Amino acid sequence: MHDTPDIADRHDAVCVIGAGASGLVTVKNLREQGFSVDCYERETSVGGAWNWRHDRSPVYASTHLVTSRPLTELPDFPMPDDWPDYPHHTQLLAYLERYAEHFGLRDSIWFGTEVVAVTPVGDGRWDVTTRGTGGGAERVQRYAAVVVANGHNWSPKPLSVDTSAFRGRVMHAAAYKDPAQLRGRKVLVVGGGNTGCDIAVEAAQQATTVWHSTRRGYWYAPKYVFGRPADQVHDKLLEQRVPLRLRQWLYHLAVRLTVGDVTRFGLPAPDHRPYESHPVVNSQLVYYVGHGRITPVPDVVRLEGATAEFADGRRVEPDLVITATGYLPRFEFLAPDLLDIDEDGKPDLHLHAFARRHPTLAVVGLVQADAGLLPLAHWQSVAVARWLRLRLTDPDRAVAVQQRESTRPLRSWTRLRVVPSSRHWFEVSHTNYLRALEDLLKQMEPA
Amino acid sequence: MKLELVRFKDWTDPVPSVRREVLSALPHPDDGQPPLLFVPGLGHGAWAFREHWLGHVASRGFAAYALSPREQGSLRAYAHDVVQVAAGLPRQAVLVGHGVGALVVAHALARYPARAAVLAAPVLHGRAALGAALRTNPLGTLPAFFGGGLRLSRRQLFAGDPPGADAYVERLTRAPSAVYRSLLTAPGPADPVGAPPALVVGSPDDRIVTRKALDRAAARFGGAPLLFPGMGHDLMLEPGWQEPIDAILDWLVKELAG
Ligand SMILES: Cc1cc2nc3c(=O)[nH]c(=O)nc-3n(C[C@H](O)[C@H](O)[C@H](O)COP(=O)(O)OP(=O)(O)OC[C@H]3O[C@@H](n4cnc5c(N)ncnc54)[C@H](O)[C@@H]3O)c2cc1C
Ligand SMILES: NC(=O)c1ccc[n+]([C@@H]2O[C@H](COP(=O)([O-])OP(=O)(O)OC[C@H]3O[C@@H](n4cnc5c(N)ncnc54)[C@H](OP(=O)(O)O)[C@@H]3O)[C@@H](O)[C@H]2O)c1
C-alpha cells in the first residue's frame, strides 16, 4: 500500500477516540505499554459524561454516584479516602481531571477535534478522519490501531409513542439539568432506571404533581443495607461465594424486612428476579411513593392534546414529560460491520471490547455492571494495550491467544439471564467479567 | 507475575481514612520534575527525612515529601496511606522507602504506577531482619516476641558514634507489636504496576539489613545495589547523608532522561 500525500502516517501510534473516563485510562495504559497515542476529543476538556458543561453530558445537578467509592475508583489511582461513600458528579470530574494531570495525559489529547470516519486500510491499519469542532478542513491520519472510547450514555433512546400531537413539553432526561426545570409543574417521568428514579425523586421535591411511568416492576435497592453501602454488602456475599439463588433469596428477605411489599403503594411487582436487571439504587423513590408525592403509573400508550394515557386506561394531564428511557450506543464514524453491529444497533464484540474480525480495533467502556464502570474500563484498556503489544513482540503467541479466546464461553463473561431489553446489551457481573479479563491478561504475560 | 483484578478486601473493607502527617520541601522555581515521596520505616517519622534529605532534594529541583506512618497501623494501612498521598500529588511520584518503609513502598507499587522507586536499606523480609536485630540488640528486640514494643538501639542504626545520634534514637517511637506482626506475616508484594525503574541502595555495614538481603532486594527490583560502605542503617541521618541522596538523584535524573 503506498501513501497518498495527504495522509499523514503516524506509523505505530494508536488512535483513541474520546477523553472521558474510558479514553483517559486507555491513553495512560497504552503509553505505559510504550505506545505513542493520539487521542481525539470533540469537547474542549476531559471528563466526558461527568463534565456536565459538555453538551452531551447526561448528568444533572444533583447526580451522585450509585456505585460506592471503593467499587468505582480506578485500581491504580484511588479517590481520596476522605470522600463520601457516594461522591457527587463534580467530584468525579475533579478526579478525572487530576488523573489526566497526574499522568500528563493532556500531551496526547487533541481537544475540540471530532473523529468523523475510521476506515480500515487493509493491512490492519486505519485511516482516521478528524475535523475541528470549530470548523476547518478535515485531516486524515493513518494509525496502527484504533481504540474507541466514545461512551454509550449520550444518544437518547426514543420513546415508542408518537409525541407530535402532545401540547405539553416532552424532553429526554439527557436535557434535564436542574431542578428549577421542574418547579411548580405537573411532571410525568417515564422510565424506571437510575435516571428516571432520580428525576422522579427530584420532581417529588420540586413539582406540584408527579407521575412515574414504568413498563414493568423493578427491585429498588437502597443505597445502604446493614449500615454499609449496598454494593459492598453484595460483594461480601460474592466473596463468600454465596450462590445466585441464595443471594436472590437474601435480597428478597432484605427488601421484605425493610421496604416491605411495594405493591401496596401501587408499584407493580417485579416481573423478574433480583439481579436479572441492571441495579436501580435509590433509597428515596419508595419513600416518596409512600408519602403520596409520586404516583406510580404503567406504560404510556398515548400522548395527545393535553393528555397522557396509560396501559390501564388511566389518563392524566402533565405539562412536562421527561423521558428517562436510557441511551443507545452509537458509532457514527464506523461502518457497522466493523463492530458486527446488528439491525437493532447492537455491536457484537469479544468481551464487549475486541472487534471479532479486526484485531487492531477495540472499544473500551462499552459495559454496564453491578459496580462502577471505571475499574472495568481500566482493565479492558490494559488488556487492549497488552494485546496490541503482544501482536508486535510475539505474533505466534498472539495467534494462539486469539484461538483460545474464541472458545471462551459467552456465559462466563456476560449476563445471559436478564430481562430482554436494549439496556442489558452490555450487562455484566463485575466479578465474572474481571475474572475473564484476568485470565486473558495471564495468557498474554511476557514469557 | 501476580495479577489481582478481583479485590474484595479493598472493595468491602476499605482502610479507614485518617489525618496523615506529610512534611515537604518545595523547589523554586518548580520546573515540572516528578516529586519524591519518602516513606520511613519502623520507629521513624517524616522528621527523619526533614533533617537533611528533603531540603537537599528541593535544592536540586525536585519537590520532596515525607509521610509519617499512622498510629495503630498495619502493612495494608501504611501502603494505603502511601498510595493516597502519592495519588494526591500533582504529578506521578517517585517513591522512596527506607527500612521497613521500603517494604511498604514495595506493596504500594502494586497499587500505584510510580514514576520510579528507590528502596533504601530495605527490610523486605521481616524474619531475616529480626534475626539480625536479635544479634545486635537482643534486649530491644526480645520483648517483641511477647507482645511488647520493638525498641531500636543506636548501635543498630548508626555505624559509628556520630554526634546527635542519641537525640535521634530518643525520638524513635516504639512500634506496637501488632504492627510488626503484620509486617512479618504479610504475603510478599505483588509485582509493581506500570513497570517503574527501581534502585536499591544500602550499606555493607548496615546492622539491620545484611549484604545478602540487599542483593536479594536488588535482584527482585533493580539490578545491583548501590553501596555506601562505612554507613549505618539510617542513611538519611548519618553524617555522610549527602552522598547517598545525591547518588539517588543522579540515578533518577538519568532514568528520567532515558
Ligand atoms: C446520570 C448518570 C450517572 C452515572 N452514574 C454512574 C455511577 O454511579 N458509577 C459508574 O461507574 N458509572 C456511572 N455512570 C456511567 C458513566 O457513563 C461512566 O461512569 C463513565 O462516565 C463512562 O465514561 P466513558 O469514557 O466510557 O464515556 P463518556 O464519559 O461518555 O466519554 C466519551 C467521550 O468521547 C467523546 N467523543 C464521543 N464521540 C466522539 C468523536 N466522534 N470524536 C471525538 N470525541 C468523541 C465525548 O465527547 C466524550 O468526552 C453514570 C451515567 C449516567 C448517565
Ligand atoms: N445516580 C447515578 O449514578 C446514575 C443515575 C442515572 C443513570 N445512571 C447509570 O446510567 C446508565 C443509564 O441509566 P438510565 O436510567 O438513563 O437508562 P436505563 O437504565 O436504560 O433505563 C431506562 C428505563 O426506561 C425504560 N424504557 C426504555 N425505553 C422505553 C420505552 N420506549 N418506553 C417506556 N419505557 C422505556 C426502561 O424499561 P425496561 O427496563 O423495560 O427496558 C428502563 O426502565 C445506567 O448504567 C445507570 O446505572 C447512574
- What pLDDT does residue A438 have? 97
Q: How far is CA B74 from CA B43, B45, B104, B151, B231, in A?
A: 13, 15, 10, 18, 29
Q: What is the DSSP string of chain B?
A: -------HHHHHSPPPP----EEEE--SS--SPPPEEEE--TT--THHHHTTHHHHHHHTT--EEEEPPPTT--HHHHHHHHHHHHHHSSSPPEEEEETHHHHHHHHHHTTS--SEEEEES----HHHHHHHHHHH-HHHHGGGGGT--B---HHHH-SS--TTHHHHHHHPPPBPHHHHHHHHHSPPPPPPTT---EEEEE-TT-SSS-HHHHHHHHHHHSSS-EE-TT--S-TTTSTTTHHHHHHHHHHHHHHHH-
State the CATH number of the domain containing residue B111.
3.40.50.1820
Q: Which of B50-59, B71-80, B122-131 has the lowest average pLDDT? A: B122-131
Ligand 2 centroid, distance to A408 Cα (angstroms): 30
Indicate if ligand 2 lies below 6 Å from the C-beta of A324.
Answer: yes
Kindly report whether the peptide bond that precedes residue A222 is cis, defined as omega within 30 degrees of 0. Answer: no
Looking from the CA of residue A327, the nearest atom of ligand 1 is: 53
Taking the CA of residue B93 and the nearest CA in chain A, the distance in Å comes to 9
Which numbered atom of ligand 1 lies nearest the CA of A374?
A: 11
- The Cα of A438 is separated from the nearest Cα of chain B by a number of Å equal to 6
- Quick check: CB of A43 below 6 Å from ligand 1? yes
Using CA atoms, how far apart are residues A315 and A300, in angstroms rounded to an integer? 10
Cα-to-centroid distance, A153 and ligand 2 (Å): 10
Chain A residue with CA closest to B81: the answer is A81
Q: Could you read off the pLDDT of A3-37 as tens digits, one per residue?
A: 455 889 999 999 999 999 999 999 999 999 999 99
* CA–CA separation, B227 and B218 (whole Å): 11
**pLDDT score of A253 more than 70:** yes
Question: Which CATH architecture does the domain made up of A6-153+325-442 adopt?
Answer: 3-Layer(bba) Sandwich (3.50)
A241 touches chain B (CB under 8 A): no
Residues of B with CB under 8 A from a CB of A: 1, 3-8, 10-12, 14-17, 80, 83-84, 87-92, 111-113, 193-195
Q: Which residues of A294-320 are buried (b: 16+ CB within 10 A; e: fewer)?
A: bbbbbebebbeeeebbbeeeeebebbb
What's the distance, Cα to Cα, between the start and end of chain B in Å?
25
Which ligand 1 atom is at minimum distance from the Cα of A49?
Answer: 29
Q: Whose CA is nearest to atom 2 of ligand 1?
A: A59
Average pLDDT taken over every residue of chain A: 95
**CA A222 – CA A199 distance, rounded (Å):** 16
Alpha-carbon gap, residue A143 to A108, rounded angstroms: 14
Q: pTM for the whole thing?
A: 0.96
The ligand with the least distance to the CA atom of A300 is 2
Give phi and psi for A128, each to the nearest 5. Answer: -115, 120
Torsion angle of C-alpha atoms A246, A248, A249, A252, degrees rounded to 10: 160
User: Is A445 in the B-facing interface, judged by CB distances under 8 Å?
Assistant: yes
User: What letter would DSSP give residue A422?
Assistant: G
Cross-chain Cβ contact A235/B11 below 8 Å: yes
CA dihedral B83, B87, B89, B90 (to 10 degrees): 160
Q: Give chain A's radius of gyration (CA, Å).
A: 23
**Long-range Cβ contacts of A237-241 (<8 Å, 24+ apart):** A238/A431, A238/B8, A239/B8, A239/B12
CA distance A348 to chain B (A): 24
How does pLDDT run across A84-117, given as a tens digit for each residue? 999 999 999 999 999 999 999 999 999 999 999 9
The arithmetic mean of pLDDT across residues B225-246, rounded, is 97
* Interface predicted TM-score (ipTM) of this complex, two decimals: 0.95
- How many domains, chain B? 1
* Ligand 1 atom closest to Cα of residue A64: 8
CATH (one of 3.40.1170.60, 3.40.50.720, 2.60.40.10, 3.50.50.60) for A158-321: 3.50.50.60
- Nearest protein Cα to ligand 1, atom 11: A372
Contacts of B7 in chain A (CB under 8 A): 75
Nearest alpha-carbon partner for A230 in A210, A211, A258, A209: A258
A50 lines ligand 1 (CB under 6 A): yes
Tell me how far the alpha carbon of residue A150 lies from the centroid of ligand 1, in angstroms: 7
Neighbours of A39 (CB within 10 A): 26
Distance (Å, whole) CA A204 – CA A292: 9
Taking the CA of A130 as reference, the closest ligand is 1
The Cα-based distances of A124 to A52, A142, A359 in angstroms read 36, 11, 7
Give the pLDDT score at A5: 52
- Of the residues A81, A432, A437, the best mutation for testing chain B's interface (the one with the most B CB atoms within 10 Å of its CB) is A81
Distance from CA of A434 to the nearest CA of B (A): 6
Q: Which residues of B touch A82 (CB under 8 A)?
A: 17
* Helix, strand, or coil (residue A444): coil
For residue A438, list chain B residues with Cβ-Cβ distance below 8 A.
Answer: 3-6
| pLDDT of B130 over the 80 cut | no
Range(s) of the domain holding residue B88: 2-257
Are the beta carbons of B84 and A81 separated by less than 8 Å?
Answer: yes
Give the pLDDT confidence of B148-183 residue by residue, as tens digits: 777 888 888 999 888 889 999 999 988 777 777 777
In A186-267, the DSSP E strands lie at: 186-190, 209-213, 220-221, 224-225, 228-229
Residue of A nearest to B115 (CA): A103
What is the separation of C-alpha B145 from the centre of its chain, rounded to a whole number of angstroms? 23
Residue B157 amino acid letter: L
CB-based contact A81 B14, cutoff 8 Å: yes
Contact list, B194 vs chain A (CB under 8 Å): 32, 76
Given a contact cutoff of 8 angstroms between Cβ atoms, the answer to whether B156 and B133 are in contact is yes
Indicate which of A72, A95, A102, A107 best probes the interface with B, i.e. most B CBs within 10 Å of its own CB. A102
Q: Do domains A6-153+325-442 and A158-321 have the same CATH topology?
A: yes
Please give the grid coordinates belonging to residue B139: 534486649
**Confidence band of A229 (pLDDT split at 50, 70, 90):** very high
**Closest C-alpha residue for ligand 1 atom 51:** A153
**Residue in the block written with cell 403503594:** A265
Nearest CA in chain B to A230: B12
**In this structure, which residue's CA is closest to atom 44 in ligand 2?**
A194
Output the CA A212–ligand 2 centroid distance in Å.
Answer: 13
C-beta of residue A202 within 8 angstroms of C-beta of residue A182: yes
Question: Which of A70, A66, A73, A65 has its CA nearest to residue A89?
Answer: A65
The residue ranges of every structural domain in chain A are 6-153+325-442, 158-321
| Residues A310-320 pLDDT 10s | 999 999 999 99
CA of B220 to the centre of ligand 2 (A): 49
pLDDT tens-place string over residues A263-310: 998 899 999 999 999 999 999 999 999 999 999 999 999 999 999 999
What percent of chain A is predicted at pLDDT more than 90? 90
Tell me the CA–centroid distance for residue A196 and ligand 2, in Å.
Answer: 7
Give the SS3 label for residue A3.
Answer: coil
Q: Is A343 helix (H, G, I), strand (E, B) or coil?
A: coil
pLDDT digits (tens, 9 = 90+) for B92-128: 999 999 999 999 999 999 999 999 999 999 998 877 7
As beta bridge partners, residue B116 has: B94
- Tell me the average pLDDT across A127-140: 94
Q: Residue A298 has what pLDDT?
A: 97
pLDDT the model gives residue B126: 74
Torsion of CA B131, B136, B138, B141, to 10 degrees: -60
- Banded model confidence at residue A409, pLDDT cuts 50, 70, 90: very high
Distance of CA A9 to the CA centre of its chain: 33
Q: Which of B12, B109, B256 to mutate to test the interface with A (most CBs of A within 10 A)?
A: B12
CA distance B7 to chain A (A): 9
Distance separating alpha carbons of residues A232 and A238, to the nearest angstrom: 10
Mapped onto helix, strand or coil, the DSSP state of residue A171 is: strand
Condensed to tens digits (0 to 9), the pLDDT of residues A40-72 reads 999 999 999 999 888 889 999 999 999 999 999
CA A77 to chain centre: 20
Label the pairing between strands A220-221 and A169-172. unpaired
Does the CB of A239 have a partner CB in chain B at under 8 Å? yes
Q: How far apart are CA A347 and CA A339, in angstroms?
A: 6
User: Which of B11, B22, B78 is the best mutation test for A, with the most CBs of A within 10 A?
Assistant: B11
pLDDT at A434 over 80: yes
Residue among A372, A322, A318, A19 at smallest CA distance from A156: A322
pLDDT of A1: 44
Inspect the interface and report whether the beta carbons of B194 and A78 lie closer than 8 Å.
no
- Closest approach of chain A CAs to the CA of B117, in angstroms? 16
What pLDDT is stored for residue A2 in this prediction?
A: 46
Q: Does the CB of A224 have a partner CB in chain B at under 8 Å?
A: no
Q: How far is the CA of A139 from the centre of ligand 1 (A)?
A: 25
Is residue A78 within 8 Å of B84, Cβ to Cβ? yes
Kindly determine whether residue B8 and residue A81, on different chains, have CB atoms separated by under 8 Å. Answer: no
How much is the average pLDDT of A189-196?
Answer: 97
Residue A49 grid coordinates: 459524561
Angle at A79 between CA B114 and CA A29, to 5 degrees: 45
A58 CB within 6 A, ligand 1: yes
* Helices B100-109/B177-185 angle, 10° precision: 50
Any CB–CB contact under 8 A between A102 and chain B?
yes
* Contact between residue B23 and residue B47 where contact means Cβ atoms under 8 Å apart: yes
- The residues that bridge with B177 in the sheet, in sequence order, are none
pLDDT tens by residue, A341-387: 999 999 999 999 999 999 999 999 999 999 999 999 999 999 999 99
Is-contact B88 B65, C-beta < 8 A?
no
Rounded distance between C-alpha atoms, residue B50 and residue B29, angstroms: 20
Q: How many CB pairs under 8 A join A and B?
A: 70
Residue that is written with C-alpha cell 495525559 in the block: A105
pLDDT score recorded for residue A305: 96
> How many CB atoms neighbour CB B56 within 10 A?
18
